[in-house]
Amino acid sequence: MKKVLFLCMNFPPMMTEGSSRAFKLASSLPEVGWEPVVIAFHSVSGPEIEQLPFDVHYVGQEVSLSDHDAEQMFRFVHGLPQRKRAFPKFGKTRLKTGAWKNGWEKKARAVAGQVLLDNPDVEMIYAQAPPFSPHRLALELSGKHNLPVVFDCIGSFAADKLEMTVMHSGHCVVMPSRDLKELFLRKYREELSHGDISIVKNCFDPKALQTVGVKQDAGALMRWVFHIEMAEDGDLKRFFSGLSTFTQSSHAGRERLSFVFTGAGSVAVGRYLKKYGLEDFVEAHHVCSQREELELCMRADVYCLVLGRAEGHEVFVPERLYDVLGMSTSLAGVLPEGLSRQLILDVGGRTASIGSSGDIADFLQDTLYLWRSKQLPVVNDVVARDYHIQSAVQEFLREMAARLPLF
C-alpha cells in the first residue's frame, strides 16, 4: 500500500478548525489503497479519546484529561490561551498550546526525517495551514525528498511571504470552499488564476456518525446546541439578551429547555450565563472531545450556529456544521451575512441576524413553536448528499492523481 505523509497541527484529539477535515481525509485513504502516516501536535489521553486507526506521531506532550479541570482542557484542545499556571512544567517549559506552536516545526522535522527513513514508500505529502509550520516543513521535505505536496489552506493567512511561495510552488493547492478561493483570487488579483487553486469540500462521514449513537426521544424537553464562533462582546451580549428574553417568555418553561454550548467561542459564555440567570438550562460545560460533542449534536433537536462579525466571518464555516448535515437535525443560525448563513439556508435551515436581541428572541420563540407543532424543518437530505465524504474524497483523489500520473 502506498503511503502519504500528513503534516497537521490541527488533528485529533485537538479540536481546532481543520482537525476534523484532516482526520476524515486521512481515514478515507486506506479504502482506496493509500495509508496515511500522520505527524500531529499534542496527544490527549482519557476514556473519551478514541484510538486512531493509523499511525500518528505526536510532536508535543501527552496530556491526561483526568489531570486537569474541564475548562483547562477545553482551552487546550481548542488552542486557546491558558490561565496562568494552568499546566505544570514539563522540563524547562510549561505546556501551553501557543508556546509550542513555534517549536513544532523543529521537532516535527526530526520526526519526519525518521518517518521517511522508515517508510520509503511515502509518495506524497499533505500539509494543512494555518498555522504556517506544516506548509514550511512540507516545502523543505519536498525539495529534499522529491515528493509532491497537497497544500491545504483552510483559512486566509495573515500577511506572510510563505503564502505566495506556496501558491507559486507548482504543487497542488486546495481549499474547502469556492468563496475562500475567490478571496485569494481577489487578494492576489494580478498573481493568481482560477487554475492555481482547487476545491476539496468539507464533508460528513456517515460511518463515523453511526458509531456515535442514535437520537433519543427527550419527550417534552427541547434540546439546543449553540455553537459559538468569532463572537465578540457585542455579539455575545445581543445573543444572550435575546436568549434570556426567550426563556422568560410565557411560552418557554425552564423545565422544557436544555442548552449546550460548543465551539471555541463558548469559552467566553460563563459570565453571560451568570448575568442572565441561564446556568440551570445548561446540560454540559466545556466539551473536550470530538466524540462527546458529536453525541450532544446527535441528541439535539436544534443545532444553532452563533457566529459573530469578527474579521473573516464571511468565508468561515465551522467544521462541525458539516457533521450536522448528516444527522437529520434541524439547523439554525444566528449570524451575519456570509458563507455560513448561505449554507444553512441552502440545506433547509433557518436563520436570524446577530444584530438585534429582539429579533433573536423572536427567532428562538418561532423555533420553539415549530418544534411543538412538529413542523420544525430538518436538513434537506438531497442537498446534504453534496457534502457526503465520498464527494470530498473523489475531489481529493483527483488532485493527488494529477500529481502522480501513474496513480
Domains of the chain as residue ranges with CATH: 2-203+388-403 (3.40.50.2000), 208-385 (3.40.50.2000)
- Are the C-beta atoms of 216 and 190 separated by less than 8 Å? no
Tell me the backbone φ, ψ of residue 103, rounded to 5 degrees: -90, -10
Query: What angle in degrees, to the nearest 10, is found between the helix axes of 357-372 and 233-247?
Result: 40
Residues of the chain with pLDDT under 50: 88-95, 97-98, 406-407
> Which pLDDT score is estimated for 177?
94
> Which pLDDT score is estimated for 273?
96
- Are the C-beta atoms of 82 and 97 separated by less than 8 Å? yes
> Which pLDDT score is estimated for 255?
60
Per-residue pLDDT of 110-146, as tens digits, reads 999 999 999 999 999 999 999 989 999 999 999 999 9
The per-residue DSSP string of 31-54 comes to GGTEEEEEEES-EEESTTSPPPSS
> Which pLDDT score is estimated for 91?
36
Tell me, yes or no, if the pTM score tops 0.85. Answer: yes
Buried b (16+ CB within 10 A) or exposed e, 379-391: beeeebeebbbee
Q: Measured between alpha carbons, how far is 103 from 397 in angstroms, rounded to an integer?
A: 32
Q: H or E element: which one contains 152?
A: strand 149-153
Tell me the backbone φ, ψ of residue 183, rounded to 5 degrees: -60, -45
Q: Measured between alpha carbons, how far is 349 from 332 in angstroms, rounded to an integer?
A: 5
